[in-house]
Amino acid sequence: MLGNHHARLARRFKSPRIRALLSFQDLYVGLSPYTAPGVFSLLAATEITDGVHYPLGGFGKVKEGLLGIAKQHGVNVRVSARVERIITANAAVAGVQLDGGEQLPTQLLITNRDVSMAYGLCDASSDKYKASWTRAKTQDDFQQYPNFYVHAPARTDPSAAPP
């Protein structure tokens, strides 16, 4: 599954149209099927077997729902506040400094910035995150802190997991 997606599909499907159909999901993450890892076949397989779902009312409803839940739990949410830097202490987030100098202490920070852009705002930033974008070719290539995506549909749909 570590080979490129197109090559993996070409082994199984002679038709370029079928290969294109089963690899367009690579575009979701900005990759070409010629460079995307073969494991991306799971995207097409999931869509074919489970379908594609959209939140009622659009993705804005997801944002509104998360904001409502956060506020119900006493979270102080700031939007449209330009963060100048992320303050760190002992290799953890300790706060943020907003444009204009205001500092806000925090133990948890949620951002929608690109990973590299967010790390670039950290006091004690390092380039270690860059290695997490390198595709592993052998077991020794796997990173200690890789980028990852978590999908746990059983949290909201118990039928998605075995009893």
Question: What would the pLDDT profile of 96-106 be if each residue is shown by its tens digit?
Answer: 999 999 999 99
User: Mean per-residue pLDDT for 37-49?
Assistant: 83
- CA distances, 108 to each of 52, 86, 94, 144, 149 (Å): 31, 11, 8, 22, 19
What value does the mean pLDDT of the chain take? 82
Task: Please report, for the chain, how many H helices and E strands are present, in that order.
Answer: 6, 3
CA-to-CA distance for 106 and 115, rounded, in angstroms? 19
Give the model's confidence band at 146: pLDDT under 50 very low, under 70 low, under 90 confident, else very high: low
What is the average pLDDT across 15-36?
85
What global pTM score does this model have?
Answer: 0.49
pLDDT of residue 38: 83
Residue 125 has pLDDT above 80, yes or no: no
How far is residue 83's CA from residue 118's CA, in Å, rounded to a whole number? 10
The Cα-based distances of 26 to 6, 23, 128, 152 in angstroms read 10, 6, 25, 21
Label residue 60 exposed, middle or buried (CB < 10 Å: 0-12, 13-18, 19+): exposed
| The token pair that represents 66 in the structure block | 């998360």
